[in-house]
Amino acid sequence: MKGILKWPLIIAAVLVIARVVLERAGAPNAVSNIFSVAVFYVVVAPLYFATRIAKSGVAKPYVTLLKTTALFAALARSMVIPIYWLAYTYQWPQSRFSVAGGGNVGPGVGPFMGYVGIPLAAAVVWILVSLVFGGGLGSIIIKFARK
């Protein structure tokens, strides 16, 4: 399973950068949302991992899937955290950064919550969502692919 994370991480980095560039350029949310790295690490990447793992014949495919999914989600989310730092610093107006949208930009958000609390809490939540949803879908793929 060596190298299974390489291309998904490159794609995740491209998605993170593309979305920020589009948002800062004033693209509508419908356009910038197409470049959501969250969809990539919750759905697309776990399905890719499951397919690769199922074809590889590893001894513990479900454990391998969950470990790979968790690691990937953590690494992909670590690419997003600096974007939230920038959003807090420059008070970016996009709705995904607003307190109402679960972000760290808005009234009453202090530096600790803006730089540490909210970004890390969001990372933990998204990693867990990725494990439950992506891991569940991936497990179904492995089950049917290994029959």
Q: Is the pLDDT of residue 13 over 80?
A: yes
CA pair distance 34, 36, nearest whole angstrom: 6
Interior angle at CA 5, CA 102 and CA 34, nearest 5: 40
% of the chain surpassing 70 pLDDT: 99
Residue 81 contacts residue 123 (beta carbons within 8 Å): yes
Label residue 57 by pLDDT band (50, 70, 90). Answer: confident
The angle formed by the CA atoms of residues 94, 33 and 15, to the nearest 5 degrees, is: 100
Per residue, the 3-state secondary structure of the chain, as one string, reads CCCCCHHHHHHHHHHHHHHHHHHHCCCCHHHHHHHCHHHHHHHHHHHHHHHHHHHHCCCCHHHHHHHHHHHHHHHHHHHHHHHHHHHHHHCCCCHHHEHHHCCCECCCCCHHHHHHHHHHHHHHHHHHHHHHHHHHHHHHHHHHHCC
Comparing CA positions, the residue from 83, 76, 77 lying closest to residue 8 is 76
What is the structure's pLDDT at 54?
95
Q: What is the distance between the alpha carbons of residues 36 and 17, in angstroms, rounded to a whole number?
A: 10
pLDDT digits 0-9 by tens, 112-121? 999 999 999 9
Question: Model pTM?
Answer: 0.93
At 11, the pLDDT band (50, 70, 90 cuts) reads very high
Distance CA(50)–CA(142), nearest Å, equals 6
pLDDT (mean) for 67-89: 97
Model pLDDT for residues 22-56, shown as the tens digit of each residue: 999 999 999 999 999 999 999 999 999 999 999 99
Confidence of residue 2 (pLDDT cuts 50, 70, 90): confident
Q: What value does the mean pLDDT of the chain take?
A: 95
pLDDT tens readout for residues 123-141: 999 999 999 999 999 999 9
State the pLDDT at residue 79.
98
